[in-house]
Structures are given as C-alpha cells and as structure tokens.
Chain A
C-alpha cells in the first residue's frame, strides 16, 4: 500500500510543486556556497564579517546605547518595533507612557518633565545639503548619566524586557536585539581561528548546517499542502464510502499515506544533500571533506519538520473535513519563521519548527545548543507520530459513523446521504 500511495503522490501537482520550490530555494540561497571556496582570511583585510560575529562588546556601551535610543524614541513619542519581522510604529497610551518614564527614571534619574525637555548629548541622524545621511550632535547637549552606575547589567536586561513589553514586543529592547547590540565582527585572529575550526571539523558539517538552515524553511511548510491534497481528495472525489468499507485497517491506510508523503519529501531533500556532497567534494578537492554530515544533518534537522508539517496537514483535514490544515500550517509557519532568530542560539522553545543557523561557521555556538536542538527535533518527530495516531483514530471513527455525532452534523450527513 505504501508503494501505491507513493505512486499516487509522486505525480501529484502539490508534490511536484514541493520539489520545484525546494530546488529553486536551494539554487538561489545555496548557490554561493556551491561555487565559492571559503579561503583563509588574510591579515590586514580589515573586514571579517563573513567569518561571523562575537558578542563581547563592553556591556557599559550596550547599556548607554540602548538608553540613548530609548530617550530619543520617548521624546519623539514613537517607538519602532518589528513584530513577526515587520516594521511597526508604536505610540503608547498615558498609563504606558508613565511606566516608560519610571523605567527611564530608574536608568537615568531624570523625571518625566526633564526627560521630555532636556537636550541630551545624543548623536542623531539628519540629512545634509547633498541629501546624504549624517550624524548630528546637538550643541550644548547635556551628558547622560552613566547607566552602569545606576543598575547592574542583569538588572538592565530585566528593565529592557519591561520596556519591550510596553512597546508590544519586537522592539530594539527585546532580548535578541539587545544581544545584537553587543555583537561585533571578528578580528583577524578570531577569523583565522573560525576558518581553522571549519577545516578541522571537516568542511562539510558547517556547510551542511547552512544547507539545512535553508532547506528547513520550505520543508516545514509545503508537505502540509501535499497532505491536505491527499486527504481532502477522498472527499472531493467522492471516494470515502468506497474506501471506508474496505478491509485495510485505518492505522495501515493512514500511516501508509503518511509514510509515502514523508518518504518522498525526504527523498527530495536527500537528493539535494547528495548533489551538495558531490559538488562540495569537487569544490574542496584535496581537502578532507566529511560528506556524511550532509546526510546526517538533513535527516535529524529537516525530516522532523517534514513529519510535523505533514501531520498537521493530515490531522486538520481529517478532523474538520476541510482544507483547514493549510491555514493552520501557514499561520504556524509564518509566526515561527518571523519570530525566530537567524541563529541556533535563538532556539529556546520546544515549538520552534524551523531551527535557524544561517552560518557555515559558529560551530562552537552550534555545539552549545546541540542538546536543545536534538530535544526539539525529537519532540517534533514524536508529536507528529502522536498527531498521526489521532488522525487514524478519527479516520476509524468516521468509517463507523461515530465522528461528531451531535445533531447538526448528523442532520448534515443525513442531507448528504438521504435515506
């Protein structure tokens, strides 16, 4: 039955679309990694951003910069935030304004009136006569008090968290943004170290993580579409009564379909991993490339997302008799994709469907989160199987006329199947 389902799915439009999107995404996002050899950094280049960032900027500077920014926004009455990755200007009501004054007062010692009317010695941006953006420092500006003399860094982070809550989340004062304020580009010595770790790891692990980072984005979404199409087709093709009276158990039917979708989607990404392994081996000819990493990471990283996406599509279609699975998956995917960090260090919850690690370096950072990452992946694989068990139970109840038996549904069924 598994092979029959595979045959049915492999020629379906939704599956072909999935394969096309994966290939397109792979080519457009990963093309550079396939064609450019990562070279040893050379001293005196001055810019080592491509080798990563390090979060070790002086915390005093971070605190000072954040408070300066917060004062400017308070004086303007507008706060910038990026809920789910989208730009938004926020204006606070009176009670929230008062709370924000309390926060600024704790950090600076100034009261509301002083905060509003004092010209602080804060660099702002303006436009010069040529239309270029320039930094402007006000004349006779008052120096801001040193924030680190008012609070410790830990206290500061807590206060910033409150400020972010007042703004509604996604502001420059959220934990991930504050951390970003403390990031800087690596220097030459650090870049050299990053490069050597990349080589010592065997080249492929770093590139495999970057590959999975890209593949996982759409592999977490499109399998749901395939599942919805497969499950919903029984209804639209008026095949349900015929299928329901056949001998095959619900568990067998449901899991054969599930296995076929997950198996075929996995086959697509494994083929991509195989092609990548071949191309990278050629690109780094003469170097020791641990190609197995492409397959290892693809399986443990991307397959659980495929399993989850398929299970969500199947479950909601079976439970509601509608293509609701698509909507549920789109909302989940959209929120997850836009709220997640670009780095694995942002993986903080069990519900992160799309773990990100948008770098071929930062192996040490990845390793520190590796246990969390594995737990997250096992959780998704296990939750998917549970969801499919529930789907099989609903399927069996429907076959016996025992799903949603309250009057309205029964009457609707009566209308569909007049006596």
Chain B
C-alpha cells in the first residue's frame, strides 16, 4: 500500500545561474491543495520537477513513498495537466483519449470504460466524435483534465487550469478537481486567489522561488489578521517586498 503523501525536502532548482526554487520543504496529504504565487514565483518549476520533467538539482521529493528520481514509477501514479497544452488537432476527442490511454498502458476494456466515464464526468460525451480543433478553450481544458485522470493516478497536478476560462467554466473545472480530491492528492496551481478560496483547504504560497506559507487557508487568515485569503496573500507578498 502506497503512502498517500507528498514530501519535499530542501528542494533547490536552478536555470543556469538563476535559482528558481530555494530550499523548498513541504508536505501534502489527500485533498485539494492550492499552489499560489505570482508569475515567475516557481510554481511551474516545482510541478514539472514533481512529475519528473525536470531533474532534481538538490533536495529530495517523494510522491507516495516513491522518489521522484524513479521516473518510470512516478509516471504510473501521477496525472499532469500542463499550463500550456493542446492535442493533435485532427484527432477526435475520443481518439485522443484512447491514444493517451494506450500511452498509459491501460488494457483496452478498462480504457474504453474509463474514457466513457470521464467523458460524462467532464460533460464532453456529446462532443466525443468532434475533432479537437473544433473545441472551445474550456472544452480543451476539460479534455486535458480527462487525460490527466484517465489512468486513475494517486496524484493530480494541474498547472493554472483556469487561466483564460469564463467564470462558468472555471467553476465547473474546479468542481471536477474537488471531486477527485476526495481520495487523491490534487494540486491546483494558480495565481487567481479566488480559485484557492473556492476549492482548497490548504495552500502553499511561493514567491520568487521561496516558500512563504504552507498551511490551512483559515490559519493563513488568522496569521495575517486579515478578512480573507486575498488580503492575506497580498499582505504576505507585500511584507516580503518591504523586506
């Protein structure tokens, strides 16, 4: 039985001379976790490192007891929705999910039933025979969520999934991830505070590669003596700027 926990210790990541993450340490269990920070704070670097797309320069990451260095095993338990992605434009929605299911080495029967289940879940069943290029931005994001959940991963990492979506689509997408978070570790990266407020109990705040907060959202409000997450977040960021 795998431990359902993410543990990161003293993670430092660099691009050439620029340090993108400074000795970040944190721990996450089952549930929905917000990853908040401005553009360039280090969110994408952290997530790409967690899914094995970037090598660990210094420090340690364990996902459900598996070291991130063991990339083939990590690929089995992680579902990833990148910030910028698309799909093969001439493939139909069903075909693209089926192709990804094959890459996830799912048996045919399981693949078919899981795709059908997810298409209903992301409300794209009617669009299953439409080509990807004919989908709206919101629909593409939902296909993106479906592909990340397809192989029933233990951990789901979504990088800025709500960017560019209209309010209705944002609510729908957050709802989807919240449902998955009942028995999975879901990390929702965003720079939109409202997404965190509406869906996460815990939040990690990164600023300029430094971990500035890791804990509950209510604790954050209490700690900063503010009226809401947005104010609390701004206060933390401003206090760092003053320093």
* Cα distance A93–B147 in the bound complex, in angstroms: 68
Which residues of B have CB within 8 Å of A414?
15, 18, 20
Structural contact, A239 and B87, CB atoms closer than 8 A: yes
Contacts of B72 in A (CB 8 A): 247, 249
Instruction: Decide: A419 near B209, CB < 8 A? Known: A247-B104, A400-B71.
Output: yes
Say yes or no for B137: interface residue by CB 8 A criterion.
no
In the complex, what distance in Å separates the CA atom of A399 from the CA atom of B78?
A: 14
Contacts of A237 in B (CB 8 A): 86-89
Given contacts A241-B80, A414-B15, contact A248 B44 (CB under 8 A): no
Q: With a CB–CB cut-off of 8 A, which chain A residues contact B85?
A: 238-239, 241-242
A44 within 8 A of B: no
- Which of B2-10, B25-33, B34-42, B231-239 faces chain A? B34-42
Distance to closest chain B CB from A248 (angstroms) = 4
User: Which bucket holds chain A's interface residue count?
Assistant: 20 to 34
Q: A1-B103, A248-B104, A419-B43 are in contact. Are A239 and B20 (CB under 8 A)?
A: no
Q: How far is the CA of A291 from the CA of B143 in the complex (A)?
A: 51
CB within 8 A of B80: which of A1, A8, A242? A242
A410 to B14, CA, bound (A): 9
Contact yes or no, A399 B55, CB < 8 A:
no
Q: Which of A245, A401, A418 contacts B75 (CB 8 A)?
A: A245
Interchain CB contact under 8 A, B54 and A401:
yes
Bound state CA distance, A1 and B43, in angstroms?
Answer: 33
Within the complex, the shortest CB–CB distance from B135 to chain A, in Å, comes to 13
* A419, B17: Cα distance in complex, Å: 15
Tell whether B52 is near chain A: CB-to-CB under 8 Å.
Answer: yes
CB contacts (< 8 Å) of A419 on chain B: these are 20, 39-46, 209
Q: Collect the chain B residues with CB atoms within 8 Å of residue A8's CB.
A: 88, 91, 99
CB of A407 within 8 A of chain B? yes
Q: Is A243 an interface residue (CB 8 A)?
A: yes
B130 adjacent to chain A (CB < 8 Å): no
**A255, chain B: closest CB distance, angstroms:** 14
Per-position contact with B for A232-267: 1 when CB-CB < 8 Å, else 0? Answer: 010001110111111111000100000000000000
Nearest to B96 among chain A residues (CB) is A239
Whether the Cβ atoms of A245 and B84 lie closer than 8 Å is no
Count A-B pairs with CB separation below 8 Å.
102
How many Å lie between the Cα of A241 and that of B48 in the bound state? 9
How far, in whole Å, are A243 and B41 apart by their CA atoms in the complex? Answer: 26
Q: B49-75, CB under 8 A of A: which get 1 and which 0?
A: 001111100000000000000011001
How many angstroms between the C-alpha atoms of A237 and B84 in the bound complex? 10
Q: Are A238 and B15 in contact (CB under 8 A)?
A: no
Closest Cβ of chain B: how far from A404's Cβ, in Å? 13
Query: Is B141 in contact with chain A by the CB < 8 A criterion?
Result: no
- Contact partners of A243 in chain B: CB under 8 A: 100, 103
Per the bound structure, the CA–CA distance linking A413 and B14 in Å amounts to 12
Does chain A have a CB within 8 A of B216?
no
Contact in complex: B15, A242 (CB < 8 Å): no
* Contact, CB under 8 Å: A247 / B76: yes
Write out the residue numbers on chain A whose beta carbons fall within 8 Å of the beta carbon of B76: 247
| Interface residue? B16 (CB, 8 A) | yes
Question: Are A417's CB and B48's CB within 8 A?
Answer: yes
A392-419 near B? 1/0 per residue, CB < 8 Å: 0000000111100001001101101111
Give the docked Cα–Cα distance between A246 and B15 (Å). Answer: 25
Judge if B218 is at the interface, Cβ distance under 8 Å: no
Most-contacted residue by chain B among A253, A407, A413, A414 (CB, 10 A): A414
Selected from B89, B103, B209, the residue in CB contact (under 8 A) with A247 is: B103
Nearest chain-B residue to A415 (Cβ)?
A: B15
Judging by beta carbons under 8 Å apart, are B103 and A402 in contact? no
Residue of B nearest to A237 (CB): B88
- Distance (Å) between the CB of A2 and the closest chain B CB? 10
Q: Do A248 and B103 contact each other (CB < 8 Å), given the known contacts A237-B89, A399-B52?
A: yes
Kindly list chain A residues whose C-beta atoms are within 8 Å of the C-beta of B151.
247
Cα(A188)–Cα(B153), bound, Å:
78
- If the complex has contacts A407-B16, A419-B44, are A242 and B52 also in contact, measured as CB distance less than 8 A? no
Establish whether residues B40 and A417, one from each chain, have CB atoms under 8 Å apart when the complex forms: no
User: Which of B15, B43, B55, B88 contacts A402 (CB under 8 A)?
Assistant: B55
CA distance A371 to B58 in the complex (A): 56
Ordered by A's residue number, 11 sampled pairs between the chains whose C-beta atoms are within 8 Å are: A237-B89, A242-B87, A245-B78, A247-B103, A247-B104, A249-B72, A399-B53, A400-B55, A414-B18, A419-B40, A419-B46
